[in-house]
Amino acid sequence: MPKLKISRRQMLRGVLGGAAVAVALPPLEAMFNANASAYANGDDLPCRFLTWFFGNGVHLERFEPAEVGPTWSLSEQLAPLANVKDYLSVITGMTNRCEELITHHEGMTAFSGHTMSQVAEDELFSKAGGPTIDQLVADVIGAQSPVKSIQIGISKRPSVMDGGTTLYALSHRGPEQPLYPETNPQKVWQTLFGNFVPRPDDAALRQSILDAVSEDARTLRSQLGVKDRLRLDAHLDSVAALQQKIAAAPPACDIPGIPTETNTDVQGQEPLIAVNDAMNALLAYAFSCDITRVGSVMFMAGAGETVFSDLGQVTSHHDNTHDYPFALPKVHDAVIYTMQRFAALLELLRNTQEIDGTNLLDSTIVYCSSDCSEGWSHSIERQPVILAGHGRNKLVHPGIHYQAAPPPGSAGNLSDVLLTVLKAFDPSATAIGSGAPRSDTPLIGITGPAW
C-alpha cells in the first residue's frame, strides 16, 4: 500500500477551525486537542463498525471456550484467532429469540433483533424483519465519511434451496431494501475510491443532473402507493448519498490501485483466500483514509453452498452439515478455515497504525455470528457471537468470555449484545429490534470504560 501523502494544499483544507467541507484526512498531531482524545474542533476520533458472517454454524463443543470470564482461553475452533485474542470477547449460551423457525433464516435475527418478515408457508422464503445493526450504526455515523457503508461478500455460492432476501444479504435497511454483498474486489474498489479518481471537473453538471433525477423521483413518487413510495424514497436517499460523495473533497491518501483480483473461479474453484485478502486490504485502507466507517462482510451466504476446495473438499459446506455425523470432520475443518480468514481481517486491522498511536482494531468494533449455532440441527439456542476490537474502549479490553448459561440450555436475549454495540455508537439508543427478540437491556459485562 502506498504511504499516506498529505500535500500542503490539502492540509490547509483541513478540519482546523471547523471548515464546512467534509474532508477525509488522516489526523495530524496538530489537529488533536491537548490530550489527543479528540480533534481540535471537538469532533470525536472516528470509530468504525463491521459485521462479519459465515453460514451453517459451528460445532459448539469445539467452539465454546471452557473457561468463563476474563481468564478464558481459546477453544479449538477459536484458535486461529490467537494473534488477536486480547481483542476478542466471545458471547455464548444466549438465546436468539426469533419468533419464526424455518431453518437458517432465524439465525439472521442475530444481526437485527427482528423476526424475519413475509415468511412463506410453502417455500423457504423470507425477507428481513427490519434494519440490520450495521445500517443502524451507519445512520448514526455514516454521514461523516464519503461512503455511508460498504457491503462485501467473499464466496459467491448462496443457498440453492432458499428464497427471499434474508439469507442473501447481511445488510438490510428494511424488508424490501436488501443491500446485497459485492463479491468482486474491483467493484468494491469502485464504490470506495472510484469517485475520487481524477476526472474533468464536471461535478456541477453531475449535481444538476442528480437534482433533476431527484425532482423526477419526487414527481413519480406522488403518483404511487405506499410500497412504491418507499422504493422511491430509497432512490432519493441514494441520489442524495451520491451527491454528497461528489461534493466530498478527495481524500488526502493516495487512491490505491484497482485490485487485480476479480473473484473469478479457476476450474470451478473459488479463490477464497485471495479475495478475502483483497477485500481486507480495501477495508483497512478505506478505514485509514476515512472513506467509510461501516461495513458488512458476508464471508459465505446463509445456508451457503460454498465448497472449501482449498481444503480438498468437493462437497458443499451446507451439504456437509447435513451429512451428520460422518462429515463432521469436514465441517470442523471448514470452521477452522473460516476463522483463519476472519483472523486475517482482524490481524490486518490490528497491524494498521493510525497517527494517534492507536491501531484500527482499537478503534473498530466487529460483530461476528452465523445463521444458527450448529448446522445439522439449525438450532438458534446458544447461538454464539464473537466481538472483536473495542472501539476506543467502548468494549471491555482485553476481552472476556461471557456465558449467559452453561451448556446445554441457553438464557437471556442475544439482542442484548446488539443493543450494547449500538449504544457504543449512539449512547441515546434505548432499545433494538421488535417482538420477542427486542432488547432494552444492554450487556454491561462486555462494556468498557468509555461506553
Partner 1 sequence: MAACGASDSSGEVETGGAEPEPELVPAPGGVRRLLGRQYIATIDQMLGPAAAAAAEPPRDFPLHDFDAIGAAELSLSDTDIEQYELSAFAVAKAAVQDRAALAQLAPCVAESAPDDACYTQVAQRVGHMAFRRPLEAAELARLAKIGVDARVWGDDDFATGLEYELVAILQSPHFLYVAELGETVQPEGAEPVPYRVLRPNERLTRMSLFFQGRTPSLADLEDVERDGLDDAQAEALAWEMVNAPVARTNLSYFFDELYRLREVAGVAKDTSSFPEFSVQLGETMRAETLRMIATVIWEQDDDALAILDAPFGFVNDELAAVYGVPAPGSQSLVRVDYPPEQGRAGVLGQAAFLSRHAHPAKTSPTRRGLFIQTKVLCFDVPPPPPGVDTSIPEDDGEPKTLREKLQVHMENPDCRACHSLMDPLGFGLEHYDPIGRYRTHEPNGLPIDAQTEVTGLGTYGDAAGLGSLLRDHPLVSNCMVRNIVRNGLGHIESEGEEATLDYLDETWVANGRNMRELLVHIATSQLFSRVGEPK
User: What residues from 287 to 346 belong to the interface with partner 1 (CB under 8 A)?
Assistant: 305, 307, 314-316, 319, 322-324, 326
Tell me the DSSP string of 19-81: -SS-------GGGB-TTSSBBTTSPBPP-EEEEEE-SSB--HHHHS-SS-BTT----TTTGGG
Choices 9-17, 34-42, 190-198, 441-449; region in contact with partner 1 by CB under 8 A: 190-198
Residue 279 Cβ, how far from partner 1 at the closest point, in Å?
15
Within 13 Å, how many C-alpha atoms sit on residue 407's CB side?
13
**Residues between 411 and 430 with contacts to partner 1, criterion CB under 8 A:** none
CA distance 327 to 339: 19
Query: Which residue lies nearer to partner 1 by CB, 315 or 351?
Result: 315
CA distance 295 to 21: 24
Return the closest-CA partner of residue 203 out of 150, 242, 257: 242
Largest CA distance in the chain: 65
Element (H or E) spanning 209, and its range?
helix 203-221
Query: Which residue lies nearer to partner 1 by CB, 187 or 423?
Result: 187
Binding-residue pattern over the window 428 to 447 for partner 1, x denoting contact by CB under 8 A: --------------------
Number of residues that bind partner 1 (CB under 8 A): 79
116: left (phi over 0), alpha (psi -120 to 50) or beta: beta
* E strand intervals along 219-308: 294-298
Residue 61 touches partner 1, criterion: CB under 8 A? no
Return the closest-CA partner of residue 253 out of 277, 275, 282: 282
**Residues between 377 and 406 with contacts to partner 1, criterion CB under 8 A:** 377-379
Grid cell locating 136: 443502524
Query: Which residue lies nearer to partner 1 by CB, 43 or 202?
Result: 202
Residue 241 Cβ, how far from partner 1 at the closest point, in Å?
5
Residue 398 Cβ, how far from partner 1 at the closest point, in Å?
36
**Residues between 249 and 278 with contacts to partner 1, criterion CB under 8 A:** 265, 267-268
**Residues between 62 and 91 with contacts to partner 1, criterion CB under 8 A:** none
Choices 329-337, 339-347, 376-384, 413-421; region in contact with partner 1 by CB under 8 A: 376-384
Residue 198 touches partner 1, criterion: CB under 8 A? no
Query: Which residue lies nearer to partner 1 by CB, 178 or 185?
Result: 178
CA distance 77 to 61: 9
Residue 195 Cβ, how far from partner 1 at the closest point, in Å?
8
Residue 105 class from Cβ within 10 Å (0-12 exposed, 13-18 middle, 19+ buried)? buried
Among 97, 156, 350, 392, binds partner 1 (CB under 8 A): 156
Choices 57-65, 159-167, 278-286, 332-340; region in contact with partner 1 by CB under 8 A: 159-167
Residue 220 touches partner 1, criterion: CB under 8 A? yes
Query: Which residue lies nearer to partner 1 by CB, 238 or 430?
Result: 238
| Alpha-carbon torsion, ordered 412, 82, 391, 413, to 10 deg | -10
Residue 223 touches partner 1, criterion: CB under 8 A? yes
Peptide bond before residue 178 is cis, with ω within 30 degrees of 0:
no
Among 4, 23, 210, 405, binds partner 1 (CB under 8 A): 210
Among 92, 155, 191, 383, binds partner 1 (CB under 8 A): 191
